Structure 1
Amino acid sequence: MRYSASLLSIFLLVILLLVLSPYPVFPQEKLRVYTLRESIEEALANNYSFKAKQEQVDRAVHVKKQARAEFLPKLSTTYSYTRFDEERTFRSTLMAGGEVAVSSLDNYEWRGTVTQPLFTGFALISSFELAKLGIDQSEMNVELEKLGLALKVKEAYFNILISDKGIEVAESDVEFRESNLNVARSFYNVGMVPINDVLRAEVELASAQQNLVTARNTARLARCSFNTLLSRPILSSLDVQDLLAFKPEKENFDEYVEQALENRPEMKLVNINILQVEQETRLAKSKNYPEIGFTFDYIKAGDEPSVSGSPFHDANEWRATAALSWTFWEWGKTHYAVKEKESVKRELMKTKLALEDNIRLEVKEAVLRLENAEENIPTTQKAIKQGEENLRVNEERYKAQVTTITEVLDAQTLLTRARMNFYSALYNHHLARASLDRALGKY
């Protein structure tokens, strides 16, 4: 019993040490660090909204297969039963009795039919071409969704980076204000400064601590948004690779506009819409032509369910029919239908011109945003150096008691703002580049 008690004590001691150990006992999952390219690729692979948009392509493919089936012969069958109220008879003077039965009371018929359109005024061809264009249209819609999703991922990515830098700046601000409070208390304790300096330092420290809490929550929310775009669990931990490199761009507006007009899915979509309305016009004109079709029927009949013939029914027979139908007058209905489609085409042509103007404007806005961000980066870098020097001077002056603590706290506030302005300018440059890529139809 004493041996068992000793083993139990050792086991409980080991468990307690494992629980209280500051080091992880079991290997932890490695924190995923995303690059920008990996983020976009995973979003395109997993995002549910993007997957839903891709279903449009599959749907359009099935519509095309339906249109192709209209060219092929159709097979159908019917089985019918007809009961007459009385037998049909024929009065004959040539036969004894005077009346001859010409039908039975019970009549069964099975019919197999093959129908083949021969000419439809080009309606079937136009419908098939429309279905093919529907695939192109859905593919362009997917490209639009892809560009939009890629831009959202980039924005979420850089929001994480800037919020993380906000935490760094806020932590540095809190650290400085804690140190400054200690200095103010030391000076107050030896009678060098009034109590107001200590109170002011305490208020500024509390404000900085609140800013740090806000910065941390902003960073958490940025990661939640990023996870949502990648269809990851919303609270999953992650990190992103920093992009501090700054490379000025050589903008060429005319070249950018040329790329955008060539690559933008919106331009390709409007061109597809124009082709669609041309086919719709051809489809409307098909009503001006007659329709020709071929029908083949194979028939079995009888007065029994087995349809094996009777004195009044052939056991089997077939019929082949070629028919032409033509509705040649509808009081101008077809004419006005064609005019409607021609009006739609003119509308699309004007829409295309308006779209080109809007694309030029979007490109110009993106270029100006990029130029603005490029100019702000060196300015904010210089402001940080000036803010650091300003803070150093005011700290020395405060220690020498030739200035007030207010000047020191104001100098720190200016430095904090300058640091955030630099990171904002840097990541705004990346976002401006992302917006320009979107305007050019790239990601």
Structure 2
Amino acid sequence: MIKRLVLALPLFLTVAVAASAQVTGTSRMEPGDVFLQDDGPVSRNAGAVWHFNADSCRLRAIAANAAVENADLNVEAAKEKKKAAVAKYFPSVTANVSAFMMHDYMLDVSSSDLSDGSLSMEVYTEGQDLESYINENLDQIAPFFEQFGIDIKQEVNDFVSGLSYNASLQMVKKGVSASVVAVQPLYSGGRIINGNKLARVGIEAAQVQRSMAVKEVGYGAEQRYWLLVSLNEKMKTLDAMSALVDTLYKDVEAAYEAGLVGMNDLLKVELKRNELLSSKTTLQNAIVLANMSLCQYVGLPLEDRIVPEDALDEMSALPGMPVIPDSADVSMRDEYRLLDLKVEAEKYKKRLILGESLPQLGIGAGYFYGNLWGRNMNNAGVFVTLSIPVSSWWDNTFNYRKQRIMERIAVNERRDYRDLLSLQVRQAWDEICSLNRQIGIYRQTIEQARENLKVNSDYYGSGMVPLSDLLEAQAIYQQSVGQYVDKCIDYKLKVLEYNQMID
């Protein structure tokens, strides 16, 4: 009985994998499963069940991930910034409208009453009030009239004493004014041209960053997907081993009760069964967390469950070895392109600082309207402006030197990272070669472990080896299968990472 069960283990694993593949493709609905419709799943219970492969997970993650959405928004923002830079080529138009009302008149000239030969006016002439001004002039001409016996001052005073008046002049207490001015820049030190070039670099940089985000998100989705595949495959192996050990325990227990084996053999099987139960509990928790992580990454509720369409039988269909890398050809990589754009951006920033120290020339036209005196006034004109930033030359000199240093730093970073990127490509290639060799080794290890299990089962059935050797052979086979699955997944992910590097 024990011999027959042990020999059936490889067949049991194969049947379990095949059964999993059939369940994946079936349309039968189970509790918690979903009806797949055009607009998505409709769950009967709280959590929906999704059947995904690696490509579908990657596409859903790219469509739902916030990093890709933010990268798209950054591209749109860079395009809007470019439009704002293009607008600098066109005239700038300024419209002003103002209205006011004063508490007092802006111009208020008045005289007080003139009586009793005294003159009092609030009008100033040559820095003197009007009365002093008249008296001073009368003193100058009085001698001339005295020759004829005329007192001119008395005559004037007598005349003024008979007069009484109040004269005033009041102007501008409220008004309205408006103007429209358009200025067309003719020369701005190259700031408009370089600003547009810098905005164009910003768009390219945002697009490169989006490409990097898409690759990173796609890689993260596949990484989580294959982790779930690996855990599910290990769970299948554990289930098969647990079923075998449970059956073995019943047989050993029956043999112990019949006095054919000792208590030691029964305890060994019990310890092995408890070990498998503990490993299964730990693995179940890991599967739940891996499933939740993948659901969150592809934009599904955490309560949903993802059933991978890949299994152990697909591990043999691994991607082939990629092309041998050219360590010198890294100019097409997104990382290097981003460094190239950084150097270009620093160059345009330097030109912008230089343009702040150069003259600015513009031509303009304006229309003016005003109503200050109680009547409308209109006027129009053209003008030319020339602005020379004399006081800015001093600080802009230091800013220009600083920006020139920043440009040199960007050039040095590009040169340094070029070598690092080449080294990264070569390192990834070496890891792929190593994993490919390890996969071949582990395939042989599985065959050897299967054969070892068969031999030990034969020997145990014949009473030639103890039970511990059989349990050890089972553990070796289980470990070999798990290591093979891990290496296959590592190889898939490394090939994906390498292809992203050289694309």
Q: Structure 2 length as normaliser, TM-score?
A: 0.75
Tell me the residue number matched to 2:338: 269
Shift of 1:159: 0.8
What's the C-alpha RMSD, in Å, of the aligned pairs? 2.8
Correspondent of 1:87 among 107, 119, 122: 107
- The change in CA–CA distance for 1:92 and 1:300 in structure 2 (over 3 A counts) is farther
Contact map agreement 1:47 1:229 (CA 8 A) in 2: yes
Matched, 1:169 2:237: yes
Change (3 A) 1:28 1:133: closer
Instruction: Give the Å deviation of 1:331.
Output: 5.8
Contact residue 284 and residue 338 of structure 1 kept, 8 A = yes
For 2:80, give the aligned amino acid: H
The 2-side partners of 1:65 and 1:23 are apart by 54
Larger radius of gyration: 2
Relative to 1, partners in 2 of residues 1:325 and 1:138: Cα closer, same or farther, differing over 3 Å?
same
Equivalent position of 1:29 in the other structure: 35
2:291 is aligned to 223
Could you list the runs of 4 or more consecutive aligned residues of structure 1 that deviate by over 6 angstroms after TM superposition?
Answer: 22-27, 90-93, 97-100
Is the Cα contact below 8 Å between 1:366 and 1:439 reproduced in 2? no
The secondary structure found in structure 1 opposite 2:303 is coil
Deviations 1:242-291 (A, max 9, x none): 2421344155132xx355x1321111111111111111111111133211
Aligned equivalent of 2:426, options 347, 364, 374: 364
Give the Cα separation in 1 of the matches to 2:358 and 2:410. Answer: 28
Query: In 1, distance between residues paired with 2:458 and 2:428?
Result: 45
| Cα distance in structure 2, aligned partners of 1:67 and 1:23 | 58
* Conserved 8 A contact 1:92-1:100: no
Q: Which amino acid aligns with 2:85?
A: A
2: distance between equivalents of 1:100 and 1:302? 22
Change in Cα spacing, 1:33 to 1:363, as seen in structure 2 (3 Å) is same
| SS of equivalent to 2:100 | strand
Cα distance in 2, alignment partners of residues 417 and 282 from structure 1:
64
Residue type at the aligned position of 1:280:
K
What corresponds to 2:95 in structure 1? 76
Confirm or deny: 8 A CA contact 1:91 1:100 kept in the other structure. no
SS at match of 1:321: strand
**In the TM superposition, what are the counterparts of 1:161-240 in structure 2 within 5 Å?**
161-240=229-308
Q: 1:130 offset after TM fit, Å?
A: 1.3
Say if 2:292 and 2:302, in contact at 8 Å, map to a contact too: yes
Partner AA of 1:77 in structure 2: N
- The count of corresponding residues between Structure 1 and Structure 2 is 407
Alignment-mate amino acid for residue 394 of structure 2: G
Are 2:218 and 1:150 equivalent residues in the alignment?
A: yes
1:330 offset after TM fit, Å?
4.3
Whole-angstrom distance in 2 between the partners of 1:154 and 1:28: 23
| Residue 325 of structure 2 is aligned to residue 253 of structure 1 | yes
In structure 1, what is the Cα distance between the partners aligned to 2:32 and 2:233? 31
Moved more, 217-226 or 147-156: 217-226
Kindly provide the CA deviation profile for residues 331-370 of structure 1, in whole angstroms up to 9, marking residues without a partner as x: 6322222222211111111100111111112112211221
Question: In the superposition, relative to structure 1, how do residues 141 and 88 fare at CA in structure 2: closer, same or farther (>3 Å)?
Answer: farther
TM-score (norm 1): 0.84
Query: 1:322 — aligned with what?
Result: 384
Q: 2:472 aligns with which of 410, 417, 429?
A: 410
In 2: Cα distance, 1:25 partner to 1:362 partner: 48
Counterparts of 1:183 and 1:145, CA distance in 2: 57
Out of 72, 84, 88, the position equivalent to 1:54 is 72
Deviations 1:86-144 (A, max 9, x none): 42569899xxx999959423333222232332221111221122112111111111111
In 2, Cα distance between the equivalents of 1:391 and 1:37? 37
Q: Contact (CA 8 Å) 1:158, 1:427: kept in 2 or not?
A: yes
Q: In structure 2, what residue type is equivalent to 1:268?
A: R
Q: Distance in 2 between matches of 1:121 and 1:366?
A: 48
Q: Please state how far the C-alpha of 1:23 moved relative to its aligned partner.
A: 8.7
Offset at 1:172? 1.2
Change in CA separation of 1:350 and 1:183 when aligned onto 2, cut-off 3 Å? same
SS at match of 2:261: coil
Structure 2: segments with no counterpart, 5+ residues: 1-27, 37-48, 110-122, 127-164
Structure 1 stretch displaced more, 244-253 or 343-352: 244-253
Are 1:170 and 1:215, in contact at CA under 8 Å, matched by a contact in 2? Answer: no
Contact 1:91 1:98 in 2 (8 A): no
In the TM superposition, residue 167 of structure 1 has moved relative to its aligned partner by 0.9
Same amino acid, percent of matched pairs: 16
Contact 2:105 2:171 survives alignment (8 Å): no
Match of 2:407 in 1: 345
Q: Measure, in 2, the Cα distance between the counterparts of 1:315 and 1:272.
A: 55
SS of aligned partner of 1:288 = coil
CA distance in 2, matches of 1:99, 1:425: 109
Q: Secondary structure at the match of 1:191?
A: coil
- Tell me whether 1:422 sits opposite 2:484 in the alignment: yes
Segments of 5+ residues of structure 1 without an aligned counterpart are 1-21, 304-308
Q: Residue 35 of structure 2 aligns to a residue in which SS?
A: coil
**2:371 maps to 1:281:** no
Given that 1:151 and 1:438 are in contact with CA atoms closer than 8 Å, whether structure 2 keeps it comes out as no
Listed as ranges, the matches of 1:351-390 within 5 Å are 351-390=413-452
